[in-house]
Amino acid sequence: TNACQNALCRKNELCQDHWFYHTCECQRPFFGEHCDQIAPIIKFNQSSLVNIVFSSSILNISLFFNTLQPNGTLFEIISSIKQQRITRDLLSQNRSTSKIIGALIDGHFRLIIIDDGPKRKEFELRSEQKLNDGRPHQIELDLENYRLIIDKIYNETLMKTHNKLFLNHIQLLGDNTLNGWLQDIRINDQLISFDNTNRLTKNFNLTSLNINQVKNNPCYPNNPCLNQGICLVTHSQDY
């Protein structure tokens, strides 16, 4: 029996046959049992801020973004737990925090890793392509397998960080320099919902400031592009 024969997967989505049932593999930003839902577009400006604190370490993050600005921080991942050290004079002082920063510098995406382990290390990657072109771009950061992927094309290996590195706090849009939109933000493979902008769940606590959810997506539910062309929402929320 082919369980995909009468499947309700959205057009062009891949159906996986499991004999007596099927699953739909959704192309992002679509999701849901039949890939019939789309992650909303979140519009941000220079006064926007999103803070998400997880109960466990952040292992991966991925998102779509669109901006025309050449410089600004997209995200910063840190530890919400204050680490202490004892100095020679026995005074307790705050230890500088390990962090991962994803930013645009002159339009290029730059990833900076600062590992404040026993031997402090810094690591930096820079994409060749400029990403402030008013088109959507996807960033995928896999901290388990030490990979950075941009638009499914640029794929680089990251520096392996100190084993005790615990990063569970992510801040989006923290330096007040970018305008644009975000879509389909997933952390630890979990789609982040902005329906309630001050949200406490079992896994994370989310607070946000000055973000707006775009209600009308010009590419969904009806694709205006002919011949099954891919519809992309531009910076001006056109397509």
Residue with tokens 């220079």: 46
pLDDT less than 70: residues of the chain: 1-3, 5-8, 11-13, 18-19, 80-97, 117-118, 160-165, 196-202, 221, 226-230, 234-239
Domain ranges (residues) in the chain = 1-38, 40-214
pLDDT 10s digits, 39-66? 888 889 889 999 999 988 999 999 999 9
Rounded Cα gap, residues 165 and 81, in angstroms:
11
Provide CATH code, domain 40-214. Answer: 2.60.120.200
Domain 1-38 architecture:
Ribbon (2.10)
Using only the alpha carbons of the chain, give its radius of gyration: 20
The span from the CA of 217 to the CA of 239, in Å, is 9
What pTM value is reported for the model? 0.81
E-only strand ranges, the chain: 14-17, 22-25, 30-31, 37-38, 41-54, 60-67, 72-78, 84-86, 92-94, 99-105, 108-115, 121-130, 137-142, 147-150, 154-157, 169-172, 180-187, 190-191, 198-200, 204-214
Integer Cα distance of 146 and 169 in angstroms: 18
Cβ contacts of residue 153 below 8 Å, gap of 6+? none
Residue 89's pLDDT is what? 36
